[in-house]
């Protein structure tokens, strides 16, 4: 971190941090530090406590797509026999393993893998493959899907048992005793960062919305990869202050915003431009996203059971009523006029509840919903013309609803 970052906008700072992050990771790897490949909502505090460098294949795959490099990786994976129907993050990453370089640069290869399936079962399959392909140990944190509104006690017992097991595995892999003191510190920092993260995006409730919600897809890299260390706290404090100042000054991303939109799902990384443009042209602003909410993760830092519960609580790991109530809540709290749901070819866990969710949410809130087809990393599954048609229809519905009022 350089001092000049202090005067920069959060948007630029995050770019620097991300560049530094990869450079540092590559350097640390050369210096013999252990590197783990980790899933996006894994309890990385365990790794931070042991000074292990963490790399996020999902983030890297997103960055590769944003730099228009995903097709190259997808081709490699598909030529190995990986079906075009499986998650494109996995395909891009499995292609990267063979290629060793990408449009978004290199990341060090892992000494261990740390997989947490609270987001999907896809990552379990994907990390199994990495473990065999790269011949490195896999620490699996299995956070069971919850069919109940509150997790059952035996499920929490199981997770805590796995945390304890993971600690043992980490001690074996690093050859060092687990650093409980540092761990405690990481838990606290993690909670601080998550709280700041949440406080910052919740300012999207203001009218006009002080930020472009799409920027949160970039900020996300930090909450994913640095939650649990000082950097994240530093960055999210900066972000929060910046947004708070805008709110105080009554400043909006679009001063005379006309529409407030909730986005559900992962963006099309290879075409953020079209997402941004289709909103901006209509003076619409993305005020919230169900995706960013996933890292608003806080828990009692003195209780592993509380941590277990927090980490299994993201919406894709929960039953329908939670997903539904959560979406209705966001629509209400952020005064959304419309919702865009991304029917993402990669992400079956989110997709297959989507049609029902769309029906129920519209019924309960009256807010129109558009379902757009696509994929986060595979541009072949996306049609710009079709996207534009669906978005157009959404705004027409919003207008009709306003007229009817």
Partner 1 sequence: MSKVEEILSELGYVAHHPARMVEQWKKETGGKAVGIMPIHCAEEVVHAAGMLPVGMWGGQTSISLAPEYLQSFCCSIMKAVMEFTMSGAYKNLDAIICPETCDTLRVIPLMMRKAIPQTPIIGVVLPDNRKIDAGIKYTAAEYRSIVKQLEQITGNPVKDEDLQNSVEIYNEHHAAMMEFFKVAVDHCDIITPYNRHMVIKSSYFMPKEKHTVLVKALIDELIKLQPSQFKGHKVVVTGIMSEPDELLEMFGKYGYAIVADDLAQGSRQFRTPAPADDDPYIRLGKRLANFEGCSCVYDPEKLRGKLLKQLVDETQADGVVVLMMKFCDPEEYDYPFIKQDLEEAGIPHLYLEIEQQMESSEQVQTRLQAFAELLEERKN
Nearest residue to 195 (alpha-carbon basis) of 143, 225, 232, 221: 232
Closest approach of ligand SF4 to the CB of residue 242, in Å = 29
CB 223 within 8 A of CB 196: no
Query: Is residue 314 a contact point for partner 1 (CB under 8 A)?
Result: no
Among 16, 20, 72, 128, binds partner 1 (CB under 8 A): 128
Nearest approach, Cβ of 341 to ligand SF4 (angstroms)?
14
Q: Per rule CB under 8 A, is residue 144 in the interface with partner 1?
A: yes
Size of the site for ligand SF4 (CB under 6 A): 11
Task: For residue 159, give the H/E element and its range.
Answer: helix 153-174
125 binds partner 1 (CB under 8 A): yes
| Given 34, 41, 53, 87, the residue binding ligand SF4 (CB under 6 A) | 87
Interface with partner 1, residue 42, by CB under 8 A: no
Handedness of CA 89, 149, 220, 259 (dihedral sign): positive
Q: List, in sequence order, every residue forming a beta bridge with 140; answer none if it has no partner.
A: 115
3-class DSSP assignment, residue 191: helix
Q: Is 367 left (phi over 0), alpha (psi -120 to 50) or beta?
A: beta
Task: Tell me if 217 contacts ligand SF4 by CB under 6 A.
Answer: no
89 touches which of ligand SF4, partner 1, none (CB within 5 to 8 A by kind)? Answer: ligand SF4
160 binds partner 1 (CB under 8 A): yes
> Using CB under 6 A, which of 35, 123, 330, 353 touches ligand SF4?
123
**What is the C-alpha to C-alpha distance for residues 303 and 280, in angstroms, rounded to an integer?**
45
For residues 262 and 86, give the distance between their C-alpha atoms in angstroms, rounded to a whole number.
26
- Angle (CA) 338-194-123 rounded to 5° is 75
Judged by beta carbon distances under 5 to 8 A according to partner kind, the member of partner 1, ligand SF4, none in contact with residue 37 is: none
Continuous segment of H or E residues that includes residue 260: strand 259-264
Q: Are 66 and 104 in contact (CB under 8 A)?
A: yes
Stretch that binds ligand SF4, among 11-19, 117-125, 172-180, 274-282 (CB under 6 A): 117-125
Please count the residues of the chain: 405
Binding residues vs ligand SF4 (CB under 6 A): 58, 87, 89, 119-120, 122-123, 266, 346-347, 376
Binding residues vs partner 1 (CB under 8 A): 80-83, 85-87, 90, 117, 120-122, 124-129, 131-132, 138, 140, 142, 144-147, 152, 154-155, 157-158, 160-162, 164-165, 316, 319-320, 343, 345, 347-349, 351-356
């Amino acid at each position: 971190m350089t001092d000049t970052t202090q005067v920069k906008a959060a948007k630029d700072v995050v770019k620097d941090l991300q560049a530094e992050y990869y450079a540092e990771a590559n350097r640390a790897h050369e210096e013999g530090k252990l590197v783990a490949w980790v899933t996006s909502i894994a309890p990385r505090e365990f790794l931070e406590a042991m000074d292990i460098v963490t790399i996020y294949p999902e983030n890297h795959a997103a960055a590769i797509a944003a730099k228009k490099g995903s097709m190259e990786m997808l081709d490699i994976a598909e030529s190995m026999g990986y079906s075009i129907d499986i998650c494109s993050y996995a395909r891009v990453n499995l292609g990267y393993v063979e290629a060793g370089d990408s449009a978004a640069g290199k990341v060090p290869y892992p000494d261990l893998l740390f997989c947490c399936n609270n987001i999907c079962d896809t990552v379990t399959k994907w990390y199994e493959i990495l473990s065999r392909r790269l011949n490195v140990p896999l620490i699996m944190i299995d956070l069971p899907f919850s069919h109940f509104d509150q997790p059952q006690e035996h499920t929490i017992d199981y997770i805590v048992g796995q945390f304890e097991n993971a600690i043992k595995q980490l001690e074996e892999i690093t050859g060092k005793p687990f650093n409980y003191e540092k761990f405690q510190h990481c838990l606290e920092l993690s909670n601080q960062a998550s709280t700041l993260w949440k406080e910052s995006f919740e300012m999207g409730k203001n009218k006009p919305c002080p930020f472009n919600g799409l920027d949160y897809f970039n900020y996300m890299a930090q909450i994913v990869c640095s939650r649990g260390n000082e950097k994240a706290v530093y960055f999210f404090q900066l972000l929060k202050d910046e947004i708070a100042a805008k709110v105080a000054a009554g400043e909006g991303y679009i001063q005379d915003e006309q529409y407030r939109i909730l986005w559900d799902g992962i963006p099309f990384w290879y075409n953020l431009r079209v997402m941004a443009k289709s909103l901006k042209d209509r003076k619409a602003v993305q005020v919230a996203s169900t995706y960013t909410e996933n890292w608003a993760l806080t828990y009692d830092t003195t209780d592993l059971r509380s941590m277990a519960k927090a980490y299994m609580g993201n919406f894709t790991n929960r039953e329908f009523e939670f997903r539904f109530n959560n979406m209705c809540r966001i629509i209400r709290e952020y005064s959304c006029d419309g919702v865009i749901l991304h029917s993402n070819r990669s992400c079956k866990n989110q997709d297959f509840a989507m049609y029902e969710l769309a029906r129920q949410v519209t019924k309960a809130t009256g807010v129109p919903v558009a379902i757009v087809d696509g994929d986060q990393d595979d541009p072949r599954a996306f049609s710009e013309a079709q996207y534009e048609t669906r978005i157009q229809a959404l705004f027409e519905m919003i207008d009709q609803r306003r007229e009817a009022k």
